[in-house]
Amino acid sequence: GEHQLFLQYALSDDKKISLYLQFPEYIKLEGYDRLVVTVLNVYDINTNEDYTSAFLPENSAYPDYFEHNYLSLFGLLPPGPEMHFPDEMGFILSASIEHREFSSTHGMKLISTEDLGEFSFETSLQKMSRTKNNEINKTLTLSGNRLHLNSIERSPLSTNLIITEDPDNTHRITGFEGMFVDAETGAVITDDLSSIMYDKDFRIHSIALGSQSMRSGAYAADLIITGVYLLDKQAEYITVDFEQKTMSPSIEGIKLSMVSSGKKSLLTFLIEKNDPYSSPFHFKYKTQEGEYKYLPHGSYSGGGSENTTVSYVFEEEIHGTITLRLHGQNNNHLIPLKEPIGTVIDVPEAFEPTP
């Protein structure tokens, strides 16, 4: 193709991979540009087994975070001895640059998209380190909803707390506030519990902990949770009727303010306490015919006030209904706990790979 993409290096263990890609020097991002790399296919070179779903489907870079033209891809497999990344893997990616502009009146607006093409490469990951695992088997109750702490997995690259929600919970648990503290020294390993991985159904799967701040030997650490993000299961999905201009069910904190359909269709919501410039919905919506499509990038306004207006412009005429799914990670889903809830976790020692 016209452009080249370089794989400069990779960091990996048997369940986590970070690939560092470099774009040519002449690829420049300016203003509100967004570089997007989409993972189309990831496979085992020897068996052709598909690993695409283990990688974030879309990866972005912006002008202020594009040092030396680097962008990283991240892949993660679920816990358990039966799943590991292969030593030799193939990747097929696509890349584009979204040229955008921002105004206080109209928010962020997509002007044009520059297609950079598709790229493919194969790589060998022969020095992958092993993951060590400690079983936990504890349960915490957070604002009436049960969270199971299953195990903690550790490698030189990462430490992950493996968690699941109780299926009988009335709410989905979508995020946490709190910290992870060395029980012996009192040192804060991380005060950010927002790095959460989800399974293919977007259920919580694991919390990434601050492995760079951990001592190498085995020791105990305190998990302290001060707040939890909750999403009512009865209000996880909303249906918008473009003909009746209605939304159901009614959800506190979200108001449908505009619906229109034509050559382009428009959908606008007024959302209380929404994070500025952050969509409250998952990246796909469901059509009346049952087809899943990507939700357009939102335009935002009112970020300095209590409420945020979020608008979506569809490049097609929409008839009937569409169904949107809330991800439950915005500020209006945060429930501060009256008292912090904590538990002690035994952290396994870090595995030291042989040179």
State the pTM of this model: 0.68
Mind listing the pLDDT tens digit for each residue in 151-190?
Answer: 998 876 678 898 999 999 999 999 999 999 999 999 999 9
> Given this model, what pLDDT does residue 75 score?
87
* Arithmetic mean of pLDDT, 64-82: 79
- Longest C-alpha distance within the chain, in Å? 66
> Given this model, what pLDDT does residue 127 score?
58
Mind listing the pLDDT tens digit for each residue in 271-315?
Answer: 886 566 678 899 899 999 999 999 998 888 875 567 788 999 998
The size of the chain, in residues, is: 355
Stronger pLDDT, 330 or 310, i.e. the higher one:
310
Neighbours of 78 (CB within 10 A): 15
For the record, the structure tokens of 116 come out as 């950079």
The domain made up of 132-232+335-347 has a fold known as: Immunoglobulin-like (2.60.40)
156, with CB counted inside 10 A (0-12, 13-18, 19+), is: middle
Helices (H), the chain: none
The CATH architecture of the domain made up of 6-124 is Sandwich (2.60)
